């Protein structure tokens, strides 16, 4: 059994979201179903709702950061968190 859900949102917001979702191969109804499922799985809104959004990166920015890290001559892998902490303290 299914039901219809109607919401009113700013046209620009909807259009921008659709462009982003299209890049992910999703449409708005599918994304909304994913969101509702995540609410049920997590028992609440599946992301932080506060004013710390300036710490957020787009997936493209996050990819660039990870690529820069992976390609950096200064990046190093650690076998454990203790090894990482020891390295940080010695700098």
Residue found by looking up tokens 């004013």 in the block: 51
Instruction: For residue 80, tell me if it sits in a domain.
Output: no
In a domain, 37, yes or no: yes
Cα distance between residue 83 and residue 91, in whole Å: 13
pLDDT, residue 77, reads 78
How many residues in the chain? Answer: 91
> What is the pLDDT at residue 84?
81
**What is the pLDDT, as a whole number, of residue 51?**
62
Return the structure tokens found at 80. Answer: 């454990």
Would you say the C-alpha torsion 25, 4, 33, 62 has a positive or negative sign? positive
Please, are residues 91 and 80 in contact by the beta-carbon 8 Å criterion?
A: no
Q: Is 31 within a domain?
A: yes
Q: Would 71 be classed as within a structural domain?
A: no
- Number of domains, the chain: 1
The string of pLDDT tens digits covering residues 1-56 is 999 999 999 999 999 999 999 999 999 999 999 999 999 999 998 887 766 656 66
Is 41 within the bounds of a domain?
yes
Q: Which two tokens stand for residue 9?
A: 């949102």
pLDDT of residue 33: 95
The residue range of the domain holding 32 is 1-47
- Kindly state the DSSP code that residue 24 receives in the 8-state scheme: T
């Amino acid at each position: 059994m299914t039901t219809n859900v109607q919401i009113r949102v700013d046209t620009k917001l909807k259009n921008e979201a659709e462009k982003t979702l299209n890049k992910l191969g999703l449409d708005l109804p599918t994304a909304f179903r994913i969101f509702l499922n995540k609410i049920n799985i997590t028992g609440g809104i599946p992301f932080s709702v506060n004013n710390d959004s300036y710490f957020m990166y787009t997936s493209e920015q996050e990819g660039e950061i990870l690529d820069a890290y992976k390609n950096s001559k200064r990046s190093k892998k650690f076998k454990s968190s203790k090894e990482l902490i020891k390295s940080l303290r010695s700098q």
